[in-house]
Amino acid sequence: MKKILIANRGEIASRIIHTCKRLGIETIAIYSEADEDMPFVKEADSAFLIGPPPVQQSYLKGEEILKIALREGADGIHPGYGLLSENVDFASQVSEAGLKFIGPDALTISEMGDKVGSRSTMKAASVPVVPGTDDGVDSLEEAMRVAKTIGYPIMLKASAGGGGVGMVRCESEQALSQQFDSVKNRAKMYFGNDLVFIEKYITNARHIEVQIFGDDAGNIVHLFERNCSVQRRNQKVIEESPSPNLSDETKSRLYQAAVDAAKAVNYKNAGTVEFIVDENDEIYFLEMNTRLQVEHPVTEEVTGYDLVEWQIEVARGNELPVKNQDDIQLNGHALEFRVYAEDPKTFMPSPGTITKLNLQSELDGIRIDNGYAENGKVTPFYDPLISKVIVHGKTRDEAIEKSKAYFSEIEIEGLKTNIPLFTEVLNVNSFKAGTYTTAILNDWSKK
């Protein structure tokens, strides 16, 4: 593979370009009118305007993106995360055109993208799932009957959804009644499918995910777990690896369940199996994300492997760079912080111009996956992620202390960011002790 088109934007586009440069692979970027001056456009070997700012008119124009890839002689397309990364039609079109889709095949994306269908597949593979419906619920009346049987609180979810979009927690029948049509409408608008289902909401839960990788030869390995329990609006803000306060026995069950899930769908390339772990350390399958995760750098920092390089090698038809599970070892502890242009109290986006951007540090063990330059504009058209800060230490305590020192010295001006949130969460007792749950930000915001 000598030339790759990156069907994405921002920090993940820059991240992929970084690995491609190291491997001697040419890169093609696409960009919208709003992103013309973004760093990733300049970093790529070539870049082409794809359309106006709205994603439907630019980054989601799969046929146009494929035309550019073919015209420019690309061997493959890397979709990054979000946008077209889990779009079955796009993955199929790329493969049918004779190019490599750098991710799992379309069939796997389809099987795991349907959350209702994936529950059934996991059950058949003896992977424990969250109690809930095995089929979609078509009406509010049916939803109420199911919820009464399962017991409140429940999660109402879009079957085709992901990334925290298209799901809502309902504490009562009244809440379910108020939210049902809204969730169905959002599901139709964002995913083209209004099928919804119900799962029991597990209280005092931790959101733990396992990074898995597979290849064409049938090799499947895991690269340990990440704790992603610091969330707002069901979307992750801080992630860490390894997860604190999980017994070796619980971790072993998580790893085995994740590998079983991957084997059940003959998984190839990078994937993440997401679980809920309750207060009794029981594990429940949530979903499988058939793409590279936003938080993949924490896994890279504790294993020493470049997961984008692994993706490219597998897409080339090669076996995994490391096939023996025992050869994959943990080294230290890593935390990732997603720096968003948003109000740290309300979590509402705060678009604007970054008048000052100083993210560099003399501290060792600091990695910056950045998407913007000084004087760059964070527009309202896309997710307001500015950069990701990944901090590695020999121990969790060292990584936490290093994080505190880092956030006390960097500077971002011109718009609001969630950095004040990080400095406060790092001092929350449950976070310091590693006993926090997915409720940590709700509890913090009520203070």
CA distance 2 to 25: 5
CA distance 231 to 169: 14
8 A C-beta contact, residue 370 and residue 11: yes
CA distance 174 to 202: 19
Specify burial of residue 430 (Cβ count, 10 A radius: 0-12, 13-18, 19+): middle
Neighbours of 85 (CB within 10 A): 23
**Which one of the listed residues 253, 291, 338, 396 is annotated catalytic?**
291
Contacts of residue 131, defined as CB under 8 A and 6 or more positions apart, other chains included, come to 150, 199, 200
8 A C-beta contact, residue 211 and residue 270: yes
Write the DSSP symbol of residue 55: G
Neighbours of 89 (CB within 10 A): 13
Active site residue 338: no
Neighbours of 358 (CB within 10 A): 11
The owner of tokens 């790759």 is 4
Q: Give the catalytic positions in this structure.
A: 291
